[in-house]
Chains A and B, each alone.
Chain A
């Protein structure tokens, strides 16, 4: 309730939430909402423009591709991979990043040094190059895309959680709990963890937006989830081949990616300001 009241004062955050919920509903109801079978070819209706242009028809609201497949249906179907990967990979990022950051910051010492060295190594290779290497060599699949993006992307979260834990673990209530005989590991999870969760949620929301971009980039380059499963990145790559004659094929899938990622950034920025008033510039 408090959260809702805080939300009501931030139009951008509300916009973000509405767009995000819209996408989630569309994703869940995709088979019911698609006006056509996304894979069905209509060879008589090839490369039709969106309905408001001459030659366009409301039967295919956003137009059709080179095989007469309905673009709107394909974009709706493609949202499933985007949302699934964003959800799966971000969950992995939260689990790994929070655990590593918490333990590393709380216990320090050799564990801390070792994990920070691992972080140094991972951040030295540009993310996209690491994703592509693993996925191209192992063979692309939905599971692999989720796992790879998740297991490469936890470093930022781990660092932020670690630095927060470094100050939190010296707080009196943590020391008090330990003085009362609470085991170290228990106090890390019971006393410290709840106090970093806000930051975790904010960073994870922003991370989800970059996961969307990463997934679509992999698909665009041909190393994401493979056809016949439809992804936004694939749609855009196919559309680029028709950029001179059918602008809608590359424009609308990109717009979908941007909108979904924008909604997460709006929400994430608001959450960040909410949990960390200092970051409010």
Chain B
């Protein structure tokens, strides 16, 4: 068990290094950071002298060879130093990021709850009524959920619940009422895939011999599903929640913009608008680290829930 854990932990290192390399290369290839910083207009470039530009380059370490820049970048981010943010008066990018994490975590948790509340009953109903009208209906909802961009869903929810009925606020934070529309928007975008996976996972389990035995004993459908089948379908469901992390992080960028929700996603959009390298790098590395962490946790939960995995 400990051996498996350590092996799995070591596998994370090359991926993490790869991500820092990807971020470094992307940011450097996508244009001269100084030009990005100052703006590419001719008027702007005339605003500073060559000496001043050289001074800024030296200050940011951009005068050093690329390989050395990367090593320094790697060293700094290991120490938690992503550099100062251009658009937030040089405040450390990591501090800005950490300040915003609670808001995004609240949104993500609420969205996950919405996704579970939809996909769990949806998947069970579809699996128990396989190829019947109820299954078709659930399937139709999940296909439409896939086809619909979540920013449109968000705006349509605003149209309905804020504008037409006046029940919920259009944007901002403060109360649970502010959280409702963003959470539904983000949650439903994940629910489609989760419902389908829940359905197929449960169908597979329902065909097993022990479920047939439980049914033959005369147990009710309810207790067959929730006492016998669910426990084994749980394995797939745990994976689902791990899979949800990337879509929660990516989706929160869009949803936070729609509803002006002050989390990491909105910070990222602001950073992009201001071509704020430090902030952008911090958010990308943070997101990737969260995804890798989630995958690691899922793998470990797997070994706890299902002993067979340990020996695989």
Contact = CB atoms under 8 A, between A and B. Distances in A.
Contacts of B247: 126
B147 A133 contact: no
Given A133-B272, A133-B280, A221-B254, A125 B19 contact: yes
A259 B159 CA distance: 20
B15 A121 contact: yes
Contacts of A136: 272-273, 275, 280
B152 A137 contact: no
B152 A236 contact: yes
Contacts of B121: none
Interface of B: 14-15, 18-19, 21-23, 26-27, 29-31, 36, 40, 130, 143-144, 146-149, 151-152, 155-156, 158-159, 163, 170, 199-200, 203, 246-247, 249-251, 253-254, 257-258, 268-269, 272-273, 275, 277, 280, 283-284, 287-288, 291-292
Nearest to B265: A129
A29 interface: no
B163 A261 contact: no
A240 interface: yes
Contacts, number: 149
A59 interface: no
A9 interface: no
A200 to B, nearest CB: 20
A182 interface: no
Interface residues of A, number: 48
Nearest to A128: B250
B27 A137 contact: yes
A121 B151 CA distance: 27
B246 A126 contact: yes
Interface stretch (A45-53, A62-70, A243-251): A243-251
Please give me the 5 A-B residue pairs with the lowest Cβ-Cβ distance, nearest first.
A126-B250, A254-B152, A137-B30, A121-B18, A136-B272
Nearest to B146: A265
B105 to A, nearest CB: 16
Contacts of A262: 143-144, 147
Given A123-B246, A239-B155, 20 more contacts: A121-B22, A124-B292, A130-B284, A132-B268, A133-B30, A136-B275, A138-B31, A139-B31, A139-B40, A209-B146, A209-B147, A216-B151, A243-B170, A251-B159, A254-B152, A254-B156, A258-B148, A262-B143, A281-B130, A281-B203
A133 B148 contact: no
A243 B159 contact: yes
Contacts of A266: 143
B291 A220 contact: no
Given A129-B249, A250-B155, A221 B143 contact: no
B163 A244 contact: yes
Nearest to A223: B272
Contacts of A243: 155, 158-159, 163, 170
Interface in A232-274: 233, 236, 239-240, 243-244, 247, 250-251, 253-254, 257-259, 261-262, 265-266, 269
A253 B147 CA distance: 14
Contacts of A126: 246-247, 249-250, 253, 287, 291
A237 B22 CA distance: 30
A147 B78 CA distance: 31
